[in-house]
Structure 1
Amino acid sequence: MIVHGDRAWIEGGDAKLDGISRDLAAAASASGIGRHGRLVAAFIQATALVRGLADANPWRQPAAQRSAQQEAAMALLMRLAEAVCRSWESCFGDADLDVAAELGRLRALDLPRALVSWDADGFSHHRVYPEAHGQAASDFAASLRGHREPQCVIVVGIGGVGTGLAAIVAAALGAPPPFVVGPVADAPGSEPVLPADLFHAATADPARLIAIVDGGRPFDDGALRSVAAALVEAGVGADRIHLFPTELPAARGAGQRNAAGEGASWAASCEALPCHAVETEHLLLHAPNPRCRLAAWITDLTGPLTAPLEDLSYGRWRERRFRAPADWPPANPRQEQLKFLAESETGPWLVKFAGLGGEGLRKAALAEALAEAGFTPAVAGFRHGFIVERWIDQSGALELPPSARPAFIAHLGRYLGFRAGHLPLPEGFVCTPLDELLVMARRNTASGLGEAAGEALAEGLHREVGRLERMVRPAAIDGRLQRWEWLVLPDGGLLKADAVDHHAGPELVSGQDIAWDVAGAICEFDLTEPEQALLVAELTQSAQIEVSAALTAFLLPCYAAYQLGQAVMGAAAVAGSEDESVRMRALSLRYARRLERLVPAPRP
């Protein structure tokens, strides 16, 4: 099944520097967590700049051949990483933001006019906080004192997010700038391509430890171990290697040491390498200084809290919204964002992770626009990755008796029209083309219904791709219209939940034409043809655009195939819970039946 994809932006190097300068100016005029958050935003942009330059001119060549742009961008990233570490360690008290020299050096260079920045899922979706890596590195440095000098550690960063996190680890250790390794492919047997200078540095001094840092998905340390394996095969002792994942692997604890005997294979040696990580939830809820905790970030928005934050992540929100577990909708806990309930003197608030830096700020602005238009709960503000919005208690899922369907469908049409007409995608955002959606639909249909069905679907849709691609007008789609995503107010009014994430997440489908949401509404609510006409009429009137019936017809089986893939993979992810598995299997069966009706009959 195919459900994930890579989001990309295309932006010039000078434009990236302008963005960094804007974030630093905003940080300089702010204080507390607001100042710190904008500093981290600048750091994330610098990470993207370093990775964009590395992809244009890979770092695996000798240092003498690396470009002046790469060296200058890394110098800027290191300065910002040091500033982030100082800001966090002082609980936002250190205000040194002077990187004018580094920015000036970069502006004097001829930066590329078009850099591809791959979506930093770790920062924008997987709740990866650079401060957690800084804390892990500080703890690691403390454990070395009296034995080895932390500043002698060789730091290696993997991939885009890993490059930035490696700079944080190096800054916390006082170590030199990190080596950069390109993303390690997920394909079995893929081997990383490491810089020649890294091998030289790692083998020249057997006393130096090596810290390998990755920003991949939580609980996935495959890339870390691939790089470690390459170093061990080159003659580096496994006892010198330390891993810095985003979270500790579930099967191992921190601080495990290599117990493999002399002559053991690298696989056995690398399996027991020590890992150093600080869990994000622990950092946010139990930072040593109470002023650095999430609860302290939000009280100016919510008023004084009357109880500790209640964790609603991993599907726990259903306990608050539904009367009994039998009424719970399916949920894949691993895919859910961090979310907390904040009880305060002003009432209950939902504190939900939306992304660090510019991506989080953009989503917060989107949430405010939707709330002001009356489509989502009221928004109090944004604090370093988290949107704070009013919590709405609800019992049960959305119910639609025949008499209520016309009003709901009209409301849904106006909601989608607002998204299409008033929520543009960020400049330079690269959407998934229709031919990639077709590949997904063919693969998922074949996996769920058999090869013949997959081929029939692909044959029926293939002829339309070229013509329809020219009709696509990308929008910040909702992407998640299921019945349980709607909040029913006491007066019968409706609000949409979870409305800002799914147009720009790690999913394959994002930033599509609003016709994707029209197809989603048809599928989720089994709309009749007259109901579809009502939906499109309300959307068209609200957005003042035309919705292509041909494009909607193309996207409808793609939507069903995509949701089938999500449900099947979700069922595998929750296999350890019988109740969750039952819910997910029932959902996958529903999408499979819908998809069956959309697959063309085989030719005689």
Structure 2
Amino acid sequence: MVIYRNYKQTKKTSHQIAIIEKLVGMAMPTRPDFYDIAISLMIECGELETGITDYFCTDKDLINPQIEVCRSISMEAGAVIFSLWSEGVFLIDRWLNIKKSLSILKQMQLPEQITLNVPEGFVFYGLYPEVYLEATSEFIKEMKPEKTLVIGLRSIGTVLSALIGAHLQSVGCVVKTLTVRPRGHPFNRFLVLDEKIKNMIRQSTGYYVIIADEGPGLSGSSIGGTLSAVKSLNVPSNRTVIFPSWLPSGERFISENARVLWNDYKKYTGSFENQWILNGKLERNLQKRLVYEISAGMWRSRFITEPSDFPPVHPHHERRKFMLVDNSEEKKNRWIAKFVGLGKYGASNVERAQKLAEMGFTPSVDQLCNGFAVMPFVEGNVLKASDLDESLIDFVKKYLLFIQKTMGASLQVSYDQMFEMIYTNVKEGMGENWCRCLEKFTPETSSLYEEVAVAIDGRMMPHDFLKTGDRFVKVDHIEHHSDQFFHGVQNICWDIAGFFVEFELDRRKREHFLENFTSIDSFVNKRQQFFNIAYLAFRLGYVSLAADSLKGEPDAGRFEKLRKKYCTMLKNELTEL
């Protein structure tokens, strides 16, 4: 099943350097948001290094002068964050070293453009770099290292390895550091290294070799392939350690190599709770008191009375969220803080959200701090599909028309990629015979698909709408146009399809609803059938994988129920082609 996409973007190298230079120019530690600026700087430096390194390392990982300068820039940014976080001290010399190194880099031969891979942990999964400082502290305390070689797995490992290296340097440890890109099939990754890097690893006698990554993922193969490469270069397992983001048993890794190697190596991890919650750091920064967490579906028991009405939730796919209250005794306002992304990613999501709030469609965003958007808690009833009425239809019409008119964006998924997703999910979810219906798509379908992309809502589920008094409010609206899932930015017909499917509108209501869009899109009726099929195929893929991965959990049964619903609806749509 296809449910994810590889989120990449191409950018001029000069533009990326200019972004970093602008952040370097914001060296004002007295600013209340200065730590967030420093985090943005570290992420942008990591993206520059990753893009340039990938450009020079198309066939194998190597080290050249350009890569070395980029590595030094990331290390300086890592040192700034380590000092700010651990000691509350701003290292102005390290900050200015970034500027000097950028000047050197600009004199070198560089690619005109680089490809940037989104650092998924920092953007989608609420992975905070500071947890790796906790892991490093534990490693230092236990192993007392004198020499280390830190290997970061690109993309996000670029930043993580720099931060780990900076921490180790602060205690006098000799640090060598580099980044590598695991290659090959996602379930069977391996490294291809040039002789200089191989010798660097071979000659690390007396060093601890640290492998830093945001994983492991479902397969475990990126870390497994890196362990195999290091092992083949005669580094013993008792001198190799892993810095992952979490500690699975390894028994369910798809990669056999990862399953075999995982438990042979020592691992160090930190936790968001230790670094941000238990020490009160997040509360102080938000200037509000944390009452309880509502992540991973925990919000359902708080806001929905009957468990039988709970929508299914995959806990790994929900953003971290907290209920907050004002610190002041005089004020008792309630707030929700939701993770929306670090750096520019969170800022872009909030900018879009504020436009929606100004029109009264969604809650306003009071602040963006440390990757969390803080919004006033809205009292209201969570909707069900059976709550559909003309007033809700009118609200959704106005909401989607506003997005259509004001949220223009660049399409991120080509027609060929979309068709491949549909074909794969139909084949795996319903059988190959149903794929024959897809032959009825024509070249016109392709041209209709690729027109007029917008930053859609992406979540038109009934439980993402509230009825408060005599009005409706859309929630869970901030980031789904830019999350890790397949659709990304799309034609507004994707959201229309979501509304039709999730609220189970009949044909008459669908036709009447589409009439509102014909004045700005004369092809909307032709376009909509394709998007109904695309949406259903995506959702079928998602709920199928979710049901399979949550076997034995109550939500598995809820997802299974949706799988049957989407299958039936998709068959009906395909039959009508």
Normalising by structure 2, report the TM-score: 0.91
The percent of aligned pairs where both chains have the same amino acid is 22
- Give the deviation of 1:30 after TM superposition: 5.4
CA contact (8 A) 2:546 2:559 kept: yes
- Give the deviation of 1:225 after TM superposition: 2.2
- Give the deviation of 1:338 after TM superposition: 0.6
CA contact (8 A) 1:154 1:209 kept: yes
Match of residue 448 from structure 2: 468
Residue 477 of structure 2 corresponds to residue 499 of structure 1: yes
CA contact (8 A) 1:136 1:276 kept: yes
Match of residue 534 from structure 2: 558
Match of residue 348 from structure 1: 334
CA contact (8 A) 1:137 1:172 kept: yes
CA distance in 1 between partners of 2:187 and 2:278 (Å) = 38
CA contact (8 A) 2:216 2:223 kept: no
Residue 267 of structure 2 corresponds to residue 275 of structure 1: yes
CA distance in 1 between partners of 2:73 and 2:534 (Å) = 43
CA distance in 1 between partners of 2:164 and 2:58 (Å) = 19
- Give the deviation of 1:52 after TM superposition: 1.0
Change (3 A) 1:173 1:269: same
Match of residue 285 from structure 2: 297
Match of residue 40 from structure 2: 41
Match of residue 161 from structure 2: 166
Q: Deviations for 1:397-419, whole angstroms, at most 9, x for unmatched residues? A: 34555xx6222222112111222
CA distance in 2 between partners of 1:250 and 1:376 (Å) = 41
- Give the deviation of 1:235 after TM superposition: 2.1
Match of residue 417 from structure 2: 436
The amino acid across from 2:389 in the alignment is R
Question: 3-state DSSP class of the match of 2:447?
Answer: helix
> Could you tell me which of 410, 425, 436 is aligned with 2:394?
410
CA contact (8 A) 2:381 2:466 kept: no
- Give the deviation of 1:60 after TM superposition: 7.3
CA distance in 2 between partners of 1:478 and 1:538 (Å) = 18
Match of residue 421 from structure 1: 405
The amino acid across from 2:126 in the alignment is R
* Structural mapping, 1:442-453, within 5 Å: 442-453=423-434
CA distance in 2 between partners of 1:248 and 1:143 (Å) = 18
Change (3 A) 1:317 1:186: farther
- Give the deviation of 1:61 after TM superposition: 5.9
What is the number of residues matched between the two proteins?
A: 562
CA distance in 1 between partners of 2:314 and 2:142 (Å) = 37
Match of residue 550 from structure 2: 574
- Give the deviation of 1:346 after TM superposition: 3.8
> Could you tell me which of 79, 96, 99 is aligned with 2:76?
79
CA contact (8 A) 2:292 2:323 kept: yes
CA contact (8 A) 2:411 2:453 kept: no
Structure 2: stretches of 5+ with no match in the other structure? 252-256
Q: Deviations for 1:215-262, whole angstroms, at most 9, x for unmatched residues? A: 23668743212211222123221111000111222569xxxxxxxxxx
> Could you tell me which of 441, 444, 466 is aligned with 1:487?
466
CA distance in 2 between partners of 1:204 and 1:529 (Å) = 70
- Give the deviation of 1:296 after TM superposition: 1.3
Change (3 A) 1:60 1:85: farther
Change (3 A) 1:221 1:136: farther
CA distance in 2 between partners of 1:95 and 1:547 (Å) = 57
- Give the deviation of 1:572 after TM superposition: 1.6
Match of residue 13 from structure 2: 13
CA distance in 1 between partners of 2:576 and 2:512 (Å) = 29
Residue 292 of structure 2 corresponds to residue 310 of structure 1: yes
CA distance in 2 between partners of 1:249 and 1:233 (Å) = 24
Structure 1: stretches of 5+ with no match in the other structure? 253-264
- Give the deviation of 1:329 after TM superposition: 0.9
Q: Deviations for 1:160-210, whole angstroms, at most 9, x for unmatched residues? A: 111111111111111545222114445444322234333212222421110
Change (3 A) 1:217 1:240: closer
CA contact (8 A) 1:209 1:242 kept: yes
CA contact (8 A) 1:321 1:393 kept: no
Match of residue 588 from structure 1: 563
CA distance in 2 between partners of 1:321 and 1:233 (Å) = 54
CA contact (8 A) 2:411 2:490 kept: no
Residue 446 of structure 2 corresponds to residue 458 of structure 1: no
> Please, which moves more after superposition, 158-167 or 15-24?
15-24
CA contact (8 A) 1:371 1:378 kept: yes
> Please, which moves more after superposition, 410-419 or 431-440?
410-419
CA distance in 2 between partners of 1:172 and 1:457 (Å) = 58
Question: 3-state DSSP class of the match of 1:46?
Answer: helix
Q: Deviations for 1:518-546, whole angstroms, at most 9, x for unmatched residues? A: 222222223344433443344566xx555
CA distance in 1 between partners of 2:341 and 2:552 (Å) = 29
Change (3 A) 1:19 1:540: farther
Residue 506 of structure 2 corresponds to residue 522 of structure 1: no
- Give the deviation of 1:213 after TM superposition: 0.8
> Could you tell me which of 311, 319, 323 is aligned with 2:301?
319
Match of residue 191 from structure 1: 190
CA distance in 2 between partners of 1:247 and 1:266 (Å) = 15
The amino acid across from 2:369 in the alignment is R
CA distance in 1 between partners of 2:176 and 2:517 (Å) = 52
The amino acid across from 2:575 in the alignment is P
- Give the deviation of 1:370 after TM superposition: 1.4
CA contact (8 A) 1:160 1:215 kept: no
CA contact (8 A) 1:540 1:546 kept: yes
Question: 3-state DSSP class of the match of 1:141?
Answer: helix
The amino acid across from 1:44 in the alignment is I
- Give the deviation of 1:445 after TM superposition: 1.0
Match of residue 254 from structure 2: none
> Please, which moves more after superposition, 179-188 or 205-214?
179-188
Q: Deviations for 1:532-574, whole angstroms, at most 9, x for unmatched residues? A: 3443344566xx5556332222121111010011111111222
Change (3 A) 1:468 1:30: farther
Q: Supply the RMSD in Å over aligned alpha carbons.
A: 2.6
Change (3 A) 1:547 1:163: farther
Question: 3-state DSSP class of the match of 1:160?
Answer: coil
Question: 3-state DSSP class of the match of 2:126?
Answer: coil
CA distance in 1 between partners of 2:71 and 2:108 (Å) = 14
Residue 122 of structure 2 corresponds to residue 112 of structure 1: no
CA distance in 2 between partners of 1:217 and 1:473 (Å) = 37
Change (3 A) 1:113 1:546: farther
CA contact (8 A) 2:148 2:207 kept: yes
CA contact (8 A) 1:519 1:556 kept: yes
CA contact (8 A) 1:48 1:160 kept: yes
Residue 277 of structure 2 corresponds to residue 285 of structure 1: yes
CA contact (8 A) 2:529 2:573 kept: no
Change (3 A) 1:550 1:112: farther
Match of residue 228 from structure 1: 227
Question: 3-state DSSP class of the match of 1:554?
Answer: helix
Q: Deviations for 1:108-150, whole angstroms, at most 9, x for unmatched residues? A: 33433321112221110011111111221132123233xx31x
CA distance in 2 between partners of 1:114 and 1:530 (Å) = 50
Q: Deviations for 1:3-58, whole angstroms, at most 9, x for unmatched residues? A: 011111111011111212233334537534x1111111111111111111122111
The amino acid across from 1:475 in the alignment is V
